[in-house]
Amino acid sequence: MKRLRNTGIYYLIFGILLAVSYVFSNLWPISILGVLLLSIFLVLKYFFKEASFAFSWNKRALQLLDVLLIALPFIYVALISWYVWRPYRQTVILPNNYEGIVAVKYNVVNSQDEIWTSSFFGLCGSRLIKVDTSGIARTSFKFHDNSVPLLGIKQMNYNREGLKIYYEHNLDDEIVEGFDGTWLVNDNTEESGKQIYSTDYNYYPLMIFVVAQPEQYFDYFMTAKEIEIWLAKDKKKYPNSYIEQPTHKLNARSSKFLRKAGIL
């Protein structure tokens, strides 16, 4: 009975600590298990007048049970965190020496078959996506949102980590080492050599980026002045909304190309 009571108190306190934390606040429902165990304890003790349970397990087995009960909340947090924040592994192959806009559209019927690479017994593989000479790829792969609806948790940045981009004639070296599709990458016009620039189309069901030399940047993106004008128009159109200033904003010519290709 003491084990039942102590486990209930432990899970209840663990859930409360998760609730007041910033990172794991959505994982608080484990405290419900604590409340349930404490309720069972109270019912058995005061309603059925049970003072104890007779276990046929030996001391070693009971010690292992205690260890499991203590470790279970930590395993719960670790597994949920891994599931939600695991990277969306994908390998994008471009035509040799291709430069320009690259658009990958996901969950398209009658498109590229799902091909996996570098998997280990079907695990930890990377989705293989081939881009055509126009810079467009349509794939039947779906983005997973890594959500746990019961807990109200889902990953917001689907492209965080896991993205690798190669030319088809060189599958050993990434076009830009370390570019993984996130805003954390220092993709700017001050660097030399070929660059990959992310865009605000970085979420399901579409990913768009640009491969270009820094001096060609404004062939695809708005100037600072054009961004200011765009922001002013959007703020006027949506006066009660927060409009975030984009790092890179595709210009009118790029948008026209994507609309013509049926991407936008």
> Of residues 167 and 85, which shows the higher confidence score?
167
Report the pLDDT value the prediction gives residue 248, as an integer from 0 to 100.
86
Q: List Cα–Cα distances, 97 to 112, 166, 167, 173, 185, in angstroms.
A: 22, 10, 7, 13, 22
Is the predicted pLDDT of residue 109 greater than 80, yes or no?
yes
**Model pTM?**
0.74
pLDDT (0 to 100) of residue 22: 80
Which of 191 and 73 is assigned the larger pLDDT? 73
What phi, psi does 166 have (nearest 5°)? -130, 160
* pLDDT tens sequence across 191-205: 568 899 988 887 667
The pLDDT score that the predictor gives to residue 184 is 45
C-beta contacts of 133-136 below 8 A and 24+ residues apart: 133/95, 133/98, 134/261, 135/94, 135/98, 135/100, 135/101, 135/102, 135/103, 136/103, 136/105, 136/261, 136/263
